[in-house]
Structure 1
Amino acid sequence: MAEAVRADARRNYEHLLAVAGEAFAEHGTDASLRDVARRAGVGIGTLYRHFPTRETLLEALMSSRFDVLRASAEDLLGAPSPRDGLLAWLREFAVGSTAYRGLPESVMTALREEGSELHASCHAMRAAGGRLLARAQESGAVRADLTAGELLALVAGIAWASEQSAEPTGMIDRMLSLTTTGIAADRSADTTPA
């Protein structure tokens, strides 16, 4: 009997995540949690039993995305060009940050607030991106005084700006191209995005 209850609870959890993902995609990270529960066909108490706060719900939705970004950064550490590896990862980060309107702000808040539910997931992703940045800096492709926090804030800003655009991916590509000039150690470096 307990196994059936656990399986039912797991299905509820997965269903709530799927419905929340749809609601956040439609209405942004500030979507009504009551609406999420209603769409999922459960009471608000059931939603809160699984996800006591909006942040825990967002963390559950984002943890797999952050894991993918972390793994991608680790894979790109072997890219022939440290600069191109970093830029490919930054583009992936920016595009992923536009999955839900309001997500760039939520990610930046989580990176700043060590006690937040999203912080641990963000931290592993940020550390992997930091290793990509360090590799590009060591190769001389990226200015040495740039920190991982500054770079992620810059790219989160690009993701936020792209949310305001009719063509988000085009905006991300253009803004990353412009940013490449600003982070290059050699200002005459090629500014074509990865």
Structure 2
Amino acid sequence: MRQGFKQLILGFLFVLLKIQIIVDMLPDFIGYIFIYNGIKQIASLSNQSYDKLKVLCIALVIISVPNFFLNDQMIQQIEWLKHYPSLLALIKIVLVYYLFILLLGVAKLLPTDEALFRTNRMFSWYMVIMLSTSLTQPFFMNISMNISIPLMIIVIIASFIIELSFLIYLRNIQKCFPKDNVFEKFV
């Protein structure tokens, strides 16, 4: 179980960070492969189905390959790629939604309700912030620059903070499970 969470954390770090030196040094598609492996391990150890997560991860691996070669300026210059970052972000939100459903089942394996409470709280905050971020971005181009620039800065900071909080949450949940993957203690 701990190894699965480690894979998730590493995968989401790859997706979050973008170090562009000719190509992306931390490619998103590698991150989604890590995420898939983590989900597979967690779901199999907790006896849960992960069919939707599997499909979403495979789709994100394939869809995010161009992101390895293209930087943000190139994406904005090519007309048919302008909505590509938004599409990736929305599919990632759907992936995280189903991941939280899996994590709610995993949190129920723990002896206390604290992990379940933290999972519900993180799920609520993550979805509210990320969905509001995705839904408000199209409106920024229709309002004046004096208003849109401060709002964009707030949205970017809120998104970054919630992504970091999500990684910290995953690490804290990982620490709740024993290193030897023995669940008899918890059931």
TM-score, normalising length: structure 1: 0.29
Q: Select the structure with the greater relative contact order (CA < 8 A; seq sep ≥ 6).
A: 2
Larger Rg: 1
